[in-house]
Amino acid sequence: MVYNQEFKHKRNNRRKFIYKSLLILLMAFFIGGGVYLFYYTNFFIWQNIKITGLKNINENDLGINNNKYYIFQLPKIENIAFDSVIFHKNYLNRVLEIEIVEKKLYGIWCNLEMREITLDLDEDEIINSQLEFNINSTSTNDKISVESKIIPQSKVIYNESCFWYDSTGLLFLEAPNSRGQLIPTILNFGNESKKIGQNILEKYEFNILFQIIKILEEAKISVEHLEFESQQSKEIKVVTQQDVNIYFSLRFQPQFIKEPLDIFNKLIPMPKKIDFRSEGKVFYK
């Protein structure tokens, strides 16, 4: 009896030893295999990263395809031009799809910095430089000596830096210098230059500007560009493709301008200057 109990005890201990040994071997196998796969293979790396939705940003500028990413990490994508970034993960095939939604290109804001330069005749043939000639001649056979002196003339030019803004007035992307009806372009004269990450106007003022642009579109006014000359005056000038100047204030709601604009738009010729800067009133000539 005692012998049987001792035998069973030894047998149980032997089984426990075998089980523990197998467990340790399995753990070592998995750990070793995992270490091997992690350090010596691409098993834990995204094999394919697809980026969709890009229209105005170059994919290479994101720098994603130049790096390797493990399946337990995601690329860090931060860009003010993006509304949202969504990751779709396929672990089985190790494919990561990045869906990007860009901000809508609503309009262009151009900072115009005035600079005065001096030009001579060689640099700008359009300028009528004054030439002083001293001609000395002793006979008809003598050579005529001509001394020319270019009197410099100044010219004012504007350095332009343009950016796209969204429907909230936030600048988020460099833009071309463009004019025309399809793109609301605002020229910023004599004000503090705005840069990416800044709003072109206060929220209340931009909402009014947004309404003005919409009313002009509904009235089928062909806009060439808009001019913002003074931050203090809170006024904006619209220049049409027919060379008509229309003035607005950003201090009050512009609903009252709808009816007068419809009337003016039917006039031939249309007044060259229309002023809506007094609430509820319109002046023209």
Q: What sign does the CA torsion over 89, 90, 91, 96 have?
A: negative
Count, in order, helices (H) and strands (E) of the chain.
3, 12
In angstroms, rounded to a whole number, what is the distance separating the alpha carbons of residues 232 and 243? 26
Say what the pLDDT of residue 70 is. Answer: 87
Over the stretch 101-111, which tens digit does the pLDDT of each residue have?
999 999 999 99
Say what the pLDDT of residue 144 is. Answer: 39
Indicate if the pLDDT at residue 226 is higher than 90.
yes
- Nearest CA to 235 out of 201, 203, 273, 198 is that of 201
In what side-by-side order are the strands of the sheet with 82-90?
48-52, 95-102, 82-90
Please give the average per-residue pLDDT across 20-44, as a whole number: 77
pTM, two decimal places:
0.72
In angstroms, rounded to a whole number, what is the distance separating the alpha carbons of residues 251 and 236? 11
pLDDT band at 126 (very low <50, low <70, confident <90, very high): very low
| Distance (Å) of CA 168 to CA 69, 122, 203, 251 | 35, 46, 8, 18
Indicate if the pLDDT at residue 235 is higher than 70.
yes
